[in-house]
Amino acid sequence: MRILVTGGAGFIGSHLVDRLLADHHQVAVLDNLSTGRKENLNPEAKFYPGDIRDKQVSSLMAEEKPEVLFHLAAQINVRKSTEDPIFDNEVNVSGSLNLIKAFLATGGKKIIFASTGGVMYGETDILPTPETVEPFPLCPYGIAKLSVEKYLNYFHRYFNLSFAALRFGNVYGPRQNAFSEAGVVAIFSARLLAGKPAIIFGDGQQTRDFVYIDDVIRACLLTLEQDPASFFNVGTGEETSVNEIFSQVARWIDKPCERQYAPAKEGDIRRSCLATEKIKKYLGWQAQVSLAEGIRKTVQWFKEQALSGKL
């Protein structure tokens, strides 16, 4: 298939591009490199430097004529979305609409959208949380992701667009940016390897659903084979505290590890965990990589980066 991946130089996107190329698809990447890295780019993919808000997106679509669009590019910083919700909306909503319209205009048939499970449901007592719980995101980032899901359903209903919205849990693994707001496994790995203490906001008892990158990529690929026209949680169904993440990462660091506690982040939800019965039923997917194994692989990758001077 001819496939376009937005955000294909990023953490999740670059892993996806590698796998799509290994499966002999024709792949193009659109990325403005604001958070993605050139070294993540697979040289076999055609690279278009650019922003999803650009008018030139129409020219790219006309040239590539992708059959499938994996839309992973986004403003991903939750804190920034609260500080500047207008910018977040411009990128995550208007930018997505710009892509969708250009994609449809050149005969595109299917969009797989990277949504969010971590903030989609807000504070809820129903854990693990199934897709039947009404979404109630408490930050502009989550609101924008939900808006795009609604737009995709609109384009499916009236323009025959096939789509899947994948509500990712807290994805972690090799290549994750250790110097951004998100990605606690990557952040802890980099700091502890550098001999710095891990900074834990709040008491560390807040929980998330941590899902390994390989499992996330399998979920993405399964959407190529089916036509669900729906949204799916992509997680493990298990809660893990930030304190436990520290302990798991520290286990694989070959030096003493310290932690420091800082004030909790404003608006940070207390617990998050995703039910996965729906994606298992309709797409045959479930997480396979255990947290212990995933963190071992992730820390090993960061060790190799540190030894080579790339960290």
Contacts 24+ apart (CB under 8 A), 256-260: 257/192, 257/197, 257/198, 258/197, 258/198, 259/197, 259/198, 259/199, 259/200, 259/204, 260/197, 260/198, 260/199, 260/200
Specify whether the CB–CB gap between 233 and 131 falls below 8 A. Answer: yes
How far is C-alpha 227 from the geometric centre of its chain's CA atoms?
A: 21
* Residue 121 among the catalytic residues: no
DSSP structure string for 158-217: HH--EEEEEEE-EEE-TT--TTSSS-HHHHHHHHHHTTPPEEEETTS--EE-EEEHHHHH
Q: Ramachandran region of residue 19, left (φ > 0), alpha (ψ -120 to 50) or beta?
A: alpha
The CA distances from residue 269 to 145, 206, 216, in Å, are 17, 8, 23
Work out whether strand 240-241 and strand 207-208 pair parallel, antiparallel, or are unpaired. Answer: antiparallel
Cis peptide before 128 (omega within 30 of 0): yes
Of these residues, 48, 121, 141, 172, which one is catalytic? 141
Dig out the tokens for 125 from the structure: 């007592």
Closest CA to 277 of 122, 121, 132: 132
Query: Which residues on neighbouring strands pair with residue 71, listed in sequence order?
Result: 6, 113
Active site positions, annotated: 141
